[in-house]
């Protein structure tokens, strides 16, 4: 796991337990599945979502065995959706590693994703709140609808900011939100606190995805993602959608069959204020989250949450 939680002892230690649970749950008689999944979880990014589960749960009656299991399920769910997403986007590399679909083929990737999903669901049977399982199901539903929508609106230069916001809600914010919510309800937080945490998760997710989309255009290339990937795939994110409103030529270039000079395109997007506008909107979501964090009961998790919100907003990769 990357060093994102390194300074937050409590979460870091719990996430080590989460990793152990995941390693146990991806064991499988079919060794192709097992080794594909071990590769993924040996190299599983920031572990934001399971960290959120744990943080939110610490606002209630924290039960380590239960919470680490739920956090593992959430991380597995997220990765199952990534495996299926990579099939869609025909992505070859994720986190500097070959994707499952690149290494084992699209066909195997479908099943490996399904398998991981079933293992994630089996962990969730530990949950005793009916809202939890409903939330996961709803999130899965929204994700698939959002992705299909993204597929269907590919290369459409008339896509609205509103439709973009819906898309990233489905893609990212809903699972962020759910991670906070599950942690809260499963640790018996009050309804009011659980709903506040849910909102905080949502806004952090929106800010996170907008930032991600900015970094896809102007970010550091060391993260293992190539620059301009979405743009080349015909997926127009906020900076592009905003710039398109002010730049007829950009529309013409995008409508032509082949993009020849990516850097020239990105320059036009910057010049037309696409990045600036997007940075502004991301900041607004972060501020909204921070404002809601302020209303939470005072404890160390609240301080951590504030710190995390700022760190995510300022990240460079």
Question: By the criterion CB under 8 A, which residues form the site for a copy of itself?
Answer: 28-30, 32-33, 84, 87-88, 106-108, 110-115, 117-119, 121-122, 125, 130, 133-134, 137-138, 140-141, 143-145, 147-149, 151-152
The CB-of-136 to a copy of itself minimum distance in angstroms stands at 8
Closer of 119 and 211 to a copy of itself (Cβ): 119
Residues 179, 298: Cα–Cα separation, whole Å: 21
Closer of 29 and 222 to a copy of itself (Cβ): 29
Entry field: residues in the chain: 317
Closer of 107 and 307 to a copy of itself (Cβ): 107
Give the chain's radius of gyration (CA, Å).
19
Closer of 139 and 187 to a copy of itself (Cβ): 139
What residues have CB less than 8 Å from 75, skipping those under 6 apart? Answer: 18, 22, 44, 47, 49, 50
The CB-of-177 to a copy of itself minimum distance in angstroms stands at 17
Closer of 1 and 87 to a copy of itself (Cβ): 87
Nearest to 5 by CA among 44, 56, 47: 47
Residues 126, 132: Cα–Cα separation, whole Å: 10
The CB-of-281 to a copy of itself minimum distance in angstroms stands at 24
Closer of 156 and 221 to a copy of itself (Cβ): 156
The CB-of-108 to a copy of itself minimum distance in angstroms stands at 6
The CB-of-301 to a copy of itself minimum distance in angstroms stands at 30
DSSP assignment letter at 94: E
The CB-of-87 to a copy of itself minimum distance in angstroms stands at 5
Closer of 97 and 108 to a copy of itself (Cβ): 108
Q: Name residue, tokens 């997403």.
A: 85
The CB-of-86 to a copy of itself minimum distance in angstroms stands at 10
Residues 235, 81: Cα–Cα separation, whole Å: 18
Burial of 9 (0-12, 13-18, 19+ CB in 10 A): exposed
Nearest to 82 by CA among 135, 35, 43: 43
H-helix or E-strand containing 306?
helix 300-314
């Amino acid at each position: 796991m990357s060093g994102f939680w390194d300074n937050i002892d409590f979460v870091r230690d719990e996430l080590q337990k989460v990793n152990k649970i995941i390693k146990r749950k991806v064991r499988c008689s079919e060794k192709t599945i097992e080794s594909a999944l071990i590769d993924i979880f040996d190299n599983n990014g920031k572990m934001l979502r399971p960290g959120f589960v744990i943080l939110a749960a610490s606002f209630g009656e924290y039960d380590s065995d239960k919470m680490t299991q739920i956090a593992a399920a959430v991380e597995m769910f997220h990765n199952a959706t990534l495996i299926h997403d990579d099939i869609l986007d025909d992505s070859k590399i994720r986190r500097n590693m070959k994707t499952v679909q690149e290494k084992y083929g699209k066909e195997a990737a479908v099943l490996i994703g399904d398998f991981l999903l079933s293992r994630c669901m089996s962990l969730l049977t530990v949950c005793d709140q009916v809202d939890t399982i409903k939330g996961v199901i709803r999130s899965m539903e929204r994700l698939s609808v959002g992705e299909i929508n993204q597929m269907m609106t590919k290369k459409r230069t008339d896509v609205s900011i509103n439709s973009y916001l819906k898309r990233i809600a489905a893609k990212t914010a809903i699972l962020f939100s759910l991670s906070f919510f599950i942690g809260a309800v499963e640790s018996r937080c009050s309804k009011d606190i659980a709903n506040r945490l849910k909102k905080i998760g949502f806004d952090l997710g929106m800010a996170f995805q907008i930032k991600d989309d900015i970094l896809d255009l102007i970010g550091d290339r060391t993260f293992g993602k190539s620059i301009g990937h979405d743009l080349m795939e015909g997926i127009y994110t906020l900076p592009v959608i905003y710039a398109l409103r002010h730049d007829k030529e950009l529309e013409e270039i995008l409508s032509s069959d082949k993009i020849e000079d990516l850097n020239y395109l990105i320059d036009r997007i910057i010049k037309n204020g696409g990045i600036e506008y997007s940075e502004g909107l991301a900041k607004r979501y972060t501020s909204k989250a921070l404002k809601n964090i302020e209303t939470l009961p005072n404890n160390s998790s609240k301080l951590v949450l504030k710190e995390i919100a700022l760190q995510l907003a300022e990240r460079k990769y």
